[in-house]
Amino acid sequence: MAELFHLSNGVRVFVDPMDGLESAALGVWVRAGAIDETPEESGVAHLLEHMAFKGTKTRTARRIAEEIENVGGYLNASTGYSRTGYYARVLRNDVGMALTLLADILTDPLLDETELAKEREVVIQEIGEAADAPEDAVMELIQTLCFQNHALGRPILGTVETVQSHTRTRLGGFMTKHYAPEDIIIAASGAVSAEDILRQSENLFGARAPVRRNSRTQRPQYIGGAEHDAREIEQTHIALAFPGAAVRDADFFATRIYSECLGGGMSSRIFQAVRDEREIAYSVYSFADSYNQTGVLGVYVGADAK
């Protein structure tokens, strides 16, 4: 049965042991993302996530990769608007090692200047790759139109200009400010012991001093608008969006169900109408993105330009 615990400094630990399994999934989620960035910091949360894997005071980047892969494990991370997650999948006997590794990259990253210079270029390539993908580009554009003049309207990756400006000091400052114990959740499920996870979490994360929780005071305002980006490509990519439900709204679940019925799969209404019946598009779906104070409901379609 799943249980929720609290460490002495406020870090939350959620453990869900599952009988009969020989593997486990575990991760550390931090209430820090693109929504917490100033315009100058755009992309810093994502770059910091990259740098976590580029070495700590006790492990090189190569050792981090080898330590998890030598036991057949998986280690990755992702950055969103509201959170950053670091997670692993390993066999039963390697859970302790994986949690130790996650703690090391989160609490003791080296943020080496040489590695940072390399990783800035990697992220710039990632930005270019997203810009070259029409579907990604139109979804980023619709997000910008929905939340103009707010962090939710800026790309998670940042821009080439902001990424080039990020320094070790800026990354470290963002981490100090936003990676607070009360904003951290450790979660483990599968072949895990609640007692072992709790004890190890206290040893690895319990020493982090409690700090004042980061307050997200600027309420996002849905604005909307229309814009097009003309390109010499074969298809036209269109996205439409409307105000949606925030995560704590009473109609949050109703909105999610509505989105699934509208365009969540091959049996959904717009898939049947647009692809199966009229055969005017290959890719069509709906989306419902929810944040703490607002949300977006919309549809996307990629069709022949005619």
For residues 44 and 232, give the distance between their C-alpha atoms in angstroms, rounded to a whole number: 32
**Which residues are known to be catalytic?**
49
CA distance 255 to 147: 19
CA–CA dist 167, 121 (Å, integer): 13
Q: Are strands 12-17 and 184-190 parallel, antiparallel or unpaired?
A: parallel
CA distance 222 to 142: 11
| Alpha-carbon separation of residue 113 from 59, 120, 208, 222, 225 (angstroms) | 16, 10, 24, 38, 41
DSSP, residue by residue, 211-229: -PPP---S-----------
